Amino acid sequence: MAFKTVRNFLIAGGVAAASLTGIAIAAGGSGPADGYEMIHKHWHWQGMTGTYDKEAMQRGFNVYANVCRSCHNLDHLAFRHLGDEGGPFYDERFPNPNDNPLVKNIAAEYEITDLNPEDGSEITRPGIPADYFPPIYRNDSEARFVNNGALPPDLSVMVKARNNGADYMYNLLLAYEHPQPDTVSLSPGQYYNPVMEGSKIAMPPQLQPQEGVFEYQSDTEGQNPPEATVEQMAADLTEFLAWSADPKLAERKSAGLMSMVYLLILAVLLWLAYKRIWRRLKQPVGG
Amino acid sequence: MAEIGLIHHDDIVEDDGKRDFIFLLAGAAGAVGAASIVWPLVAQMGKAADTLALGSIEIDIGQIAEGEQLKVLWRGAPVFVRHRTAAEIAEAESVNLADLPDPATDADRLVPGPDGALKPEYLVQVGVCTHFGCVPVGEAGDYDGWYCPCHGSHYDTSGRIRKGPAPRNLDVPPYEYLSDTVIKVG
Amino acid sequence: MAGPSTYEPKGAVMRWMDTRLPIVRMGADFMTFPTPRNLNYWWTFGGILLLCLMIQIVTGVILGMHYVAHIDHAFDSVQRIRRDVPYGWLMQSAHAVGASMFFLAVYMHMFRALYYGSYKAPREVLWIIGCLIYLVMMATAFLGYTLPWGQMSFWGATVITGFFGAVPVVGEGLQQWLLGGYAVDNATLNRFYSLHYLLPFIIAALSGLHVWALHVTGSSNPIGVSSKVKTDTLPFHPYFTVKDMFAVTVFLIIFAFFLFYLPDALGHADNYIKADPLKTPPHIVPEWYFLPFYAILRAVPDKLAGILLMLGAIAVLFVLPWLDTSRVRSMRFRPIARWFFFFFVIFCFILGWCGAGVPDDYAIKIGDGGITFYRLGQISTLYYFAYFIVILPILGLIEDPVERPASITQAILDYGDKPEPEKVLVPAE
């Protein structure tokens, strides 16, 4: 008897939740232009239990440091974050990422602007893990001036800042190859890219196979890296930036699993308690 | 009509003891859930990762000239690193422990360098008076060490309390030598 | 309905307390409060909403410990909460997802009241307080959405405060007074933060009045026939406390699913871009729970008329008890009204869909043409208002309700203890 009402209740909740999801997806903006087919990759971190691939993140960081870094900063990332649990350079021997030698070495490669405590003059010093990635330009105006009027955006939350951000990032890097229709005319300093809003982008193609932007070094585990094809580099960079935008994903999913199991058990127990208590009433006639 | 059997009657005892067990189980499960929710609510007020990241700092002590003191902010308080002169070291080592309110040898207040030997020329301590938390002034006071201007505590060249209201010697922070010239505090 | 208190203080201390501050009596009366025994799961949303308010206040107070209300730091401080503050990611997500869950529950609660006629005499004041709570909730949600200082925060605040600029004569002055400047800026962010912190406590106070009013009239129930005899009701505890707890847990499963697996599904990607007063996102839409009203706003091409229409859509709820002329509360016994209600719900969803769409895009494609979101929104808006202003007043006069049980007890004898007959939404004829 009451199962039906529970069923109705669950259906009602399910419909509401589904329509929420539907609205969220419907609100999700327009797709790419000119017949470009988005490549939908299956990423490591998708699904209920998926998490980031450490080697891919490390390679992705290399792509960032060697290619993207010339214009794009990671505003919200400190070097120590790279060594956090779930991060690309995490090492369980160093629970405090500040002690992680890989993180220390990466930090030391960056010059941090600081003040000389003696005389207040501006000095530069090598970075330490507690430092944030230093800004590339002094301010937005300088960034625009140097880059033909376009502002290279922060990449640390980029994957979250676009609908379906991982696929967006991956496709954006690959879509330069798509044939440019005659209807699109570009100003100097603009490039054609159907994934970009408006199909025009100020960023030149960055990952080019023929020049071999750089070679993948063997990673920290000493394993042989994959060949640095454009697709491989784009995927690895996306993996790194996805982590950078959502570094607590693994923690979130494991907490989610525990919560769901717990809530289901609690729901069953409360259901039984509910039936018990209501059974105190004599079954009404016809019930 | 009500007589037909709709009356809420607690007087009819349930048949088994399973009822209480279910209530106990549901109650216990609820309590576990509530407790595990409380933990993040409390823990969030603890030190955040960016605060923890500055909980330990590395100091290059090679740059400090003899007779000079470097003042570095660590965990919201100054750390004094003093490159002591031979005279100051001699003075610190020659004290009779019985004269001290908080007895400690000078060696007690140092940590060994990378080679295992003490480096008495470098004295590292937290620059906070153990009385009421003021920052003492260096190379001052009756014992050539530090002098706290707030309530007149005198520390010697090893940072030990010699005179005045402060109860303890200046604290030595946890630190280690990473190399001959770099220490890690915290 | 509530009847005299049956609480008897035990012992000298309790008697002493009872004559000074009868708070134990109040608690005891809550526990023994006679509640219609035929309430179905639609009546569990009151308890769920109480939990939602508590979650929002607790997580909100916590976020307030780490958030910085300054245009230069607000966005970064939210990122810091998500990355560095212990469990900050959990608190921030719970607060953001919690807002959506709060509205989900409040809409379920409201649709229940609309279907079962819970707004009718003698519960008009109870209903109006509920409408006030909803209004303050909307204000709170809007103010809170500004705080992360993303692109949608900024432009949402710009658009919504622009409504006030549409007021004739004093509009511009009013808008700038509200903003504390010529445009949304640091002064705006600071006052929005202050008000966002204040309003939930007003909601809590209004909820207190809401429960007070409920305890004067007693709960309505699925058959809409007032409780008459003792067997119509059961004490609130343990019968409905345990039922509410079960429902709350099921609700929390949905909550947890969004919180842990789809934390961003109900938000906008653009809000992960720091606010930029020089660049408007191509497609500004409010959060999902405002979409129906957004569609109503855009249903007329005139700015002021659109705003008045949108305000009217909320205002009409306040006078609903006097618009519905039927003497039957529950639509279960109103064969025609039931269908109109069914379409009302459908049109509310369509309004939400229209609010999310681009007005000139086709919602329904027919050949080369079709129905644009703009047109569909107009049709839905028309039905929304017609339902309250035309259908309910007229239907109450002409509709023949089917025969109702004489009492709750009788209904249970007829149907059994299942709270809802299976023929919901099917006309009785």
Q: Please write the tens of the pLDDT for every residue from C35-48.
A: 999 999 999 999 99
Looking at this protein, which amino acid is placed at residue A159?
A: V
Provide the pLDDT for residue C231: 83
Choose the catalytic residue: C243, C268, C270, C399: C243
The answer to whether residues C117 and C333 touch, using CB atoms and an 8 Å cutoff, is: no
Provide the pLDDT for residue C378: 95
Query: What are the chain A neighbours of C273 within 8 Å (beta carbons)?
Result: 153, 161
- Cβ distance C87 to B1 less than 8 Å, yes or no, reads no
Average pLDDT over chain C reads 93
Q: How many CB pairs under 8 A join B and C?
A: 51
What percent of chain C has a predicted confidence (pLDDT) above 70? 96
- Taking only the tens place, the pLDDT of each residue in C169-196 is 999 999 999 999 999 999 999 999 999 9
- Cβ distance B33 to A80 less than 8 Å, yes or no, reads no
Beta bridge partners of A1: none
Mutation site, C272, C354, C422, C425, interface A, largest A CB count within 10 A: C272
Q: Which of A2, A75, A165 sits opposite C418 (nearest CB)?
A: A2
Looking at this protein, which amino acid is placed at residue C414?
A: D
Query: At C17, which helix (H) or strand (E)?
Result: helix C11-18
Question: Are residue B6 and residue B78 in the same domain, yes or no?
Answer: no
- Cβ distance B2 to C231 less than 8 Å, yes or no, reads yes
In a domain, A275, yes or no: no
Burial (Cβ within 10 Å: 0-12, 13-18, ≥19) of residue A222: exposed
Query: What are the chain C neighbours of B31 within 8 Å (beta carbons)?
Result: none
- Cβ distance B6 to C58 less than 8 Å, yes or no, reads no
What percent of chain B has a predicted confidence (pLDDT) above 70? 90
Question: Are residue B16 and residue B83 in the same domain, yes or no?
Answer: no
Provide the pLDDT for residue B157: 93
- Cβ distance A267 to C246 less than 8 Å, yes or no, reads yes
Is the pLDDT confidence value at C429 over 50?
no
Choose the catalytic residue: C70, C124, C185, C215: C215
Chain B: partners with 3+ C-beta pairs within 8 Å: A, C
Local structure of residue A103 (DSSP, 8 states): H
Provide the pLDDT for residue A208: 74
- The structure tokens 């953001």 sit at C96
Catalytic site includes residue C219: yes
Tell how far CA C43 is from the center of its chain.
14
Average pLDDT over chain B reads 87
In a domain, A73, yes or no: yes
Chain A contact present for C83, CB below 8 A = yes
Contacts of C241 (CB under 8 A, 6+ apart): C31
Compute the nearest-CA separation of A161 from chain C (Å).
Answer: 4
Provide the pLDDT for residue C228: 84
Chain A contact present for B90, CB below 8 A = no
Burial (Cβ within 10 Å: 0-12, 13-18, ≥19) of residue C91: buried
Question: Are residue B38 and residue B73 in the same domain, yes or no?
Answer: no
Catalytic site includes residue C196: no
Chain C: partners with 3+ C-beta pairs within 8 Å: A, B
Query: At A192, which helix (H) or strand (E)?
Result: strand A191-192
Question: Are residue B65 and residue B14 in the same domain, yes or no?
Answer: no
Cis ω on the peptide bond leading into residue C122 (within 30° of 0)? yes
- Taking only the tens place, the pLDDT of each residue in C229-252 is 888 899 999 999 999 999 999 999
In a domain, A282, yes or no: no
- Name every residue in A having a CB less than 8 A away from some CB of B: 78, 80, 84, 96-98, 128-130, 262-263, 265-266, 269-270, 272-273, 276, 279-285
Chain A contact present for B6, CB below 8 A = yes
CA atoms within 13 A on the CB side of C393: 10
Residue B112's domain comprises 51-185
The model's pTM is 0.90
Provide the pLDDT for residue A28: 47
Describe the crossing of helices C186-217 and C171-179 by its angle, rounded to 10 degrees: 100
Question: Are residue B84 and residue B157 in the same domain, yes or no?
Answer: yes
The answer to whether residues B125 and B171 touch, using CB atoms and an 8 Å cutoff, is: yes
Mutation site, B1, B3, B50, interface C, largest C CB count within 10 A: B1
- Cβ distance C91 to B48 less than 8 Å, yes or no, reads no
Q: What is the CATH number of the domain that holds B70?
A: 2.102.10.10
In a domain, C19, yes or no: no
Please, which pLDDT band fits residue B6 given cuts at 50, 70 and 90?
very low
Question: Are residue B33 and residue B72 in the same domain, yes or no?
Answer: no
- Taking only the tens place, the pLDDT of each residue in B22-70 is 899 999 999 999 999 999 999 999 999 999 888 888 899 988 999 999 9
Task: Write down the ipTM of this complex.
Answer: 0.91
Give me the mean pLDDT over the C299-309 stretch: 93
Query: What are the chain C neighbours of B8 within 8 Å (beta carbons)?
Result: 231, 234-235
Chain B contact present for C92, CB below 8 A = no
Provide the pLDDT for residue B7: 45
A57: tokens are: 């993140």
Query: At B13, which helix (H) or strand (E)?
Result: none
- Cβ distance A285 to B4 less than 8 Å, yes or no, reads yes
E-assigned strand segments in C220-291: 233-235
Is the pLDDT confidence value at C4 over 50?
yes
- Cβ distance B40 to C234 less than 8 Å, yes or no, reads no
Is the pLDDT confidence value at B16 over 80?
no
Compute the nearest-CA separation of B37 from chain C (Å).
Answer: 11
C50: tokens are: 């109480």
Query: What are the chain B neighbours of A96 within 8 Å (beta carbons)?
Result: 52, 56
Give me the mean pLDDT over the B83-111 stretch: 91
Q: What is the CATH number of the domain that holds A57?
A: 1.10.760.10
The answer to whether residues A164 and A27 touch, using CB atoms and an 8 Å cutoff, is: no
DSSP letters for C194-254: HHHHHHHHHHHHHHHHHHHHHHHH----TT-PPP-SGGGEEEHHHHHHHHHHHHHHHHHHH
Residue C374's domain comprises 33-415
Chain A: partners with 3+ C-beta pairs within 8 Å: B, C
Residue A234's domain comprises 34-249
Report the distance separating Cα C358 and Cα C349, nearest Å: 16
- The structure tokens 């307080």 sit at C129
Contacts of residues C359-368 at CB distance under 8 Å and 24 or more positions apart, as own/partner, are C359/C298
- Cβ distance A5 to C413 less than 8 Å, yes or no, reads no
Q: How many domains is chain B partitioned into structurally?
A: 2
Report the distance separating Cα C134 and Cα C289, nearest Å: 11
- Cβ distance B1 to C410 less than 8 Å, yes or no, reads yes
Compute the nearest-CA separation of B10 from chain C (Å).
Answer: 12
Q: What is the CATH number of the domain that holds C243?
A: 1.20.810.10
Question: Are residue B61 and residue B135 in the same domain, yes or no?
Answer: yes
- Cβ distance A276 to B23 less than 8 Å, yes or no, reads yes
Question: Are residue B30 and residue B71 in the same domain, yes or no?
Answer: no
Choose the catalytic residue: C18, C244, C270, C399: C244
Compute the nearest-CA separation of C73 from chain B (Å).
Answer: 15
Mutation site, C110, C253, C360, interface A, largest A CB count within 10 A: C253
What stretches in chain A show pLDDT beneath 50?
1-2, 27-29, 210, 283-287
For B133, phi then psi, to 5°, come to 85, 15
C71: tokens are: 């245009």
In a domain, A279, yes or no: no
Provide the pLDDT for residue B10: 44
Q: How many domains is chain A partitioned into structurally?
A: 1
Please, which pLDDT band fits residue C143 given cuts at 50, 70 and 90?
very high
Cis ω on the peptide bond leading into residue A204 (within 30° of 0)? no
In a domain, A26, yes or no: no
